[in-house]
Structure 1
Amino acid sequence: MINILNVGLGFILVWVLVNSFFMPRLRQRPVEENAQEQDLVSILIPMRNEEKNVAPLIHSLSQLTYQHVEFLFLNDQSTDETRLRLEEKIHLLPNASIIEGKELPAKWVGKVHACHQLSCHANGHYFFFLDADIIIQPHTIEALLQQARPKQLGLVSGFPKFPVKGTAWLCQLLVPMQHVIIYLHLPLFLANYTRMPMASAAHGSFLFFSRACYEAIGGHKEIYHSLIEDIQLMRNCKEAGFPTRLVNNTGVASCVMYETNSEVWEGFSKNSFPGIGRSYILGYCLLLFYLIAFVTPFFLALYGLLTLQFHFIFPYVLTVLIMIWINAQAKQRLVISLLVPFSALSLMSLLFYSMIRSKRAGYTWKGRVYK
């Protein structure tokens, strides 16, 4: 039995090693001195109750080296001082505007509606949707254009680096697992080098569209009811015939998504089960997979230590090596690799909870309830 587990984990390790080579790395590069043409890039940022993120976000944007940009911020019915903080800082950015968001129409998802409103005001050749909690490096737009222009990509996205702040244990365990899901479950060759819609992933905090692609797929309006709008947008781009890329953008973007246990639980629960198509069969298969592959090896290791049968430790060593490779690619702290069984248990609990919520009360996020 333990030999079968070792073989399976060994295969998974080889898989994530090989799979990672099909995700191109988005690199910071200097500005091209004699660029013949600079396309206008619209940077579009929805903000709902984001007062704490305004200052670091605008400071980050003010450092961008690409000059041909416009900045559009949408205050999405905020009940805190988001609007006031924006008004205090917006002078630091050239060509910047604040849009006051409209009431959320029936059946629309809040963020999707906010992004749709932003797109209606955008003038750029490219639409760059960012979340309020993201920080990007000065040469990010140049790096994106150097990726998108030669290949005429319709959409470039990536999962940023996720610095974990505070002592919230769910942040430590769950936030870095987003990269695990990509490197482990998504065949990146199919995602990046075919137009197969089902092999798609994207991160809503970092979406870089060509305007032609965005308009061809109907933009956010076409997916007004989707809780996993980022993945659905990527699929729509592929179905419309546009090439896309999921890139490793951890060198140019970082995102402090959540800072409390409740934020992590609420935020991930609304995405985890919808993210697998609300399939209960797939959900239970994933629960079983994580139990066998990432939780069982830890208890085997404990048994091996207690009985001095050290070959029982090897499966846990393999799981840690898998995590070390993924965390190294994602620029996460390598020490959290040792916590893989607890991360897996947290992920399993979250998925199970999300499955239950889907049938009963729906999902709550930023004061709004979604079915």
Structure 2
Amino acid sequence: MLLTIALLMTILLNVWTIANSFFLPNLQKETAVKDRPKVSLLVPLRDEIEHVTELIRCLKAITYANVEFILLDDHSEDGTYEALLNETSNDPRFIIIQGHPLPEGWNGKVHACHQLSQHASGDYYLFLDADARVSPSIIERSLATLQKRKASMLSGFPHYPNHHVLSHLLVPLQHMVVFLHLPLAVANFTRLPAFTAACGIFIFIERKAYDAIGGHQAVKGSLVEDVHIAREVKKHGFSMILCNITDGVVSYMYDSSKETWEGFKKNIYTGIGRSPVMVVFLTSLYIGLFLFPFALGVYGIVSGQTAYFLPFLLTVTFKMYVDARTRHPLWLSWLLPFSAALLIALLFASMMVHLRGKSYQWKGRSYE
């Protein structure tokens, strides 16, 4: 009976994921864009000196002509501002600004993005994280996708070339969560705010829609401002599309396993609405889908009953499909039980910070 249940669950897992993935479009390959609107590419930086040189080199390679680059140093203490000035001194497309002190009630990155928007003059804004690298044609491809889909906002989760144990196990799960939990047909073909996702590493938005929702000021205290901006866009009657951007955007998201843990802990509980019920539900789901088949597989190996290994193999094929679509190493799929266990631990660790009335810590700042 247990084997039958596990087989049914993991078969359905694969069928759902493959079917759901058909509604996650890739960015357009062609770069023909109507009217060539002006784009403001906006990057907030806080203590990002190790990324400055490669970031600027990447931005300088962008082929879209009607673009301005505005980069904001948010009170860095590692020489980021001076490095930005040095790397961009001979390119008039770049504007380097220094951020104002963080006001009460604002998230640091949200405030930085708000200031960037106040200096921007484009018809579209592209908010990009300092650890991201984009292909030279990324603006043309994104605009072509928006125009084809008649959307006002585009976002997606980039490819993550990880170099640390926890980042290998956790960061690619962002793609898995989208394929597993988000009905992409509803997310991409309706304006229902509850069904959406976005990634703050890469947000491409029409200025008209951005202004209509009140910009970043409308989500000033949010720790998951990317999702909340996407919801506001839909609430105001605009279309938002989530795309597979992994062939055009790369993100070196975390520099260490410790930073990976702290970054996920800061966001994960807020991302599920700070709901203990959701923590219990997701824990039960991940135990049932990923840890239970793994336990059966171990039992099958020990007992010599190879049929018990099949549900685990089906979880591997599920993760392998997701990793293949998002350009991650296929060997990661065999470690899915460990990734799921870490994700469960993070859910509880993040929840306990909130329940104990403590603050989340990130880059020298505290967040409630």
- Confirm or deny: 8 A CA contact 2:223 2:270 kept in the other structure: yes
Please name the residue that 1:364 is paired with: 361
Aligned partner (choices 111, 124, 127) of residue 125 of structure 2: 127
Q: Is 1:270 matched up with 2:266?
A: yes
Q: Which moved more, 1:145-154 or 1:170-179?
A: 145-154
Q: How far apart in 1 are the matches of 2:66 and 2:230?
A: 26
Task: Kindly report which structure 2 residues correspond to 1:238-257, keeping only aligned pairs within 5 A, or say none.
Answer: 238-257=234-253
Task: State, as a whole percentage, how many aligned pairs show the same letter.
Answer: 42
User: Residue 258 of structure 1 is aligned with which of 239, 244, 254?
Assistant: 254
Equivalent residue, structure 2, for 1:10: 11
Task: Identify which of 285, 290, 294 aligns with 1:289.
Answer: 285
Q: Which residue of 2 aligns with 1:146?
A: 144
Residues 265 and 152 of structure 1: CA distance in aligned 2, closer, same or farther (over 3 Å): same
Alignment-mate amino acid for residue 242 of structure 1: F
Supply the AA of the counterpart residue of 1:241.
G
Root-mean-square deviation (CA), in Å?
1.1
Cα offsets for 1:16-60 (capped at 9, x unmatched):
000000011014435x4xx66321100000000000011111111
Mapped contact 1:64–1:139 kept (Cα < 8 A): yes
The question of whether the paired residues in 1 share the 8 Å contact of 2:72 and 2:116 is answered with yes
TM-score by length of 2: 0.97
- TM-score of the superposition, structure 1-length normalised? 0.97
- Matched AA of 1:52: E
Give SS of 2:223's match: coil
CA distance in 2, matches of 1:247, 1:92: 34
Q: Which runs of 5+ in 2 are unaligned?
A: none
CA contact (8 A) 1:29 1:139 kept: no
Determine whether 1:216 maps to 2:241. Answer: no
* C-alpha displacement of 1:93: 4.0
Range 150-159 or range 254-263, more displaced: 150-159
Q: CA 1:130 to 1:93, structure 2 compared with 1: closer, same or farther past 3 Å?
A: farther
- The answer to whether the Cα contact below 8 Å between 2:254 and 2:260 also exists between their aligned partners in 1 is yes
Q: Deviations over 1:300-356 (max 9, x none)?
A: 111111110011101100100000000011110011100000010111111110110
Aligned to 2:135: 137
Tell me how far 1:221 sits from its aligned partner.
Answer: 0.4
How far 1:9 moved relative to its partner? 1.1
Is the 2:28–2:145 contact (alpha carbons within 8 Å) kept by the matching residues of 1?
no
Task: Select which of 331, 338, 355 maps to 2:351.
Answer: 355
User: Is 1:27–1:252's contact at 8 Å kept on the other side of the alignment?
Assistant: no
- Secondary structure of the 1:302 match is helix
Name the count of aligned residue pairs. 366
Which of 39, 48, 51 is the matching residue for 1:50? 48
> How many angstroms apart in 1 are the aligned matches of 2:151 and 2:252?
27
- The equivalent of 1:197 in structure 2 is 193
Q: Show the counterpart of 1:102.
A: 100
Whether the aligned pair in 2 keeps the contact of 1:62 and 1:92 (CA below 8 Å) is no
Structure 1: distance between partners of 2:167 and 2:14: 25
Q: CA deviation at 1:259?
A: 2.2
Residue 150 (structure 1) shift: 3.7
Any conservation in 1 of the 2:69–2:94 contact (CA below 8 Å)?
yes
1:180 is matched with which residue: 171, 176, 197? 176
**CA offsets 1:266-293 (integer angstroms, 9 cap, x no match):** 1111111100111110111101111121
SS in 2 for 1:290: helix
Question: What per-residue deviation string (whole Å, max 9, x for no partner) do you get for residues 206-255 of structure 1?
Answer: 00000000000000001111000000000000000001100000010000
Q: Which amino acid aligns with 2:143?
A: L
2:18 maps to a residue whose letter is L
Relative to structure 1, is the Cα distance of residues 302 and 28 closer, same or farther in structure 2, using a 3 angstrom cutoff? same
2:89 match: secondary structure:
helix
| Counterpart secondary structure, 2:260 | helix
- Gap runs ≥5 in structure 1: none
Q: Counterpart of 1:334 in structure 2: which amino acid? A: L
Q: Is the 8 A contact 2:283 2:344 kept in 1?
A: yes
What secondary structure is seen at the aligned counterpart in 1 of 2:250? strand
SS of the equivalent of 1:273 reads: helix
Deviation string 1:156-186 (CA, Å, 9 cap, x unpaired) is 0000001112xx2111100111101100011
- Amino acid in structure 2 at the alignment position of 1:153: A
| Post-superposition offset of 1:362 | 2.1
